[in-house]
Amino acid sequence: MISLVVALARNNVIGKEGSMPWYYPEDLKYFKKLTMGHKILMGRKTFESIIRRNNKILPGRKHYVLTRDLNFSFPEVEVLHNLDLFLKNIGDEEIFIIGGAEIYKAALTYADRLYITHINKEYEGDVYFPELDLNNFHLISEQTVNELAFCVYERIKEC
């Protein structure tokens, strides 16, 4: 099971200058609860933004980092160079794709489930979520807290 997690501004911005252009503690708590104990997969730039912010990997989660750099390594991190090969061999266990834009774009067609925090506000930024056709998904839950809507979508299975 492949799940994608993203916080998305109304104008599709997801990042600015290597970081996120907002701070929503409720969303960070949601992300932590969702991913705790699971595998998380991210691009090298998102991984570096996590390390810049926390000085360490996120506790309690197995990190997979995608890079073309064959010399890249980091303690306790699994380094990947081929996303398609990895995602095609995922079993039933839920893995969370946590960004950024390049990885979302490459992984979107594989995603069974989307956890999207829709932020009801526009932000300036330099990284955008790729084009998304929600017609292939149905909304299975939605919870609104102030300007955030925590939505879960599941891919509509073809008969």
Ligand X SMILES: NC(=O)c1ccc[n+]([C@@H]2O[C@H](COP(=O)([O-])OP(=O)(O)OC[C@H]3O[C@@H](n4cnc5c(N)ncnc54)[C@H](OP(=O)(O)O)[C@@H]3O)[C@@H](O)[C@H]2O)c1
Q: Which residues bind ligand X (CB under 6 A)?
A: 6-7, 14-15, 18-20, 42-46, 49, 66-69, 81, 83, 98-103, 106, 127
Q: What is the nearest approach in angstroms of ligand X to the Cβ of residue 117?
A: 7
Taking the least distance from each CB to ligand X, the nearer of 4 and 137 is 4
* Block residue for tokens 């990997």: 57
Minimum distance of ligand X from residue 85's CB (angstroms): 10
Strands 95-97, 113-119: parallel, antiparallel or unpaired by DSSP?
unpaired
CB of 35 to ligand X, least distance (A): 12
| Least spacing, CB of residue 154 vs ligand X, in Å | 19
Q: Which is nearer to ligand X, 105 or 156 (CB)?
A: 105
How deeply is 53 buried, as exposed, middle or buried, from its count of CB atoms within 10 A (0-12, 13-18, 19+)? exposed
106 phi and psi, to 5 degrees?
Answer: -75, -25
Cα three-residue angle 41-25-30, rounded to 5 degrees: 50
Whole-angstrom CA distances from 110 to 4, 65, 67 are 9, 17, 19
- Which residue's CB is nearer to ligand X, number 102 or number 154? 102
Q: Which is nearer to ligand X, 125 or 137 (CB)?
A: 125
Q: How many residues does the chain have?
A: 159
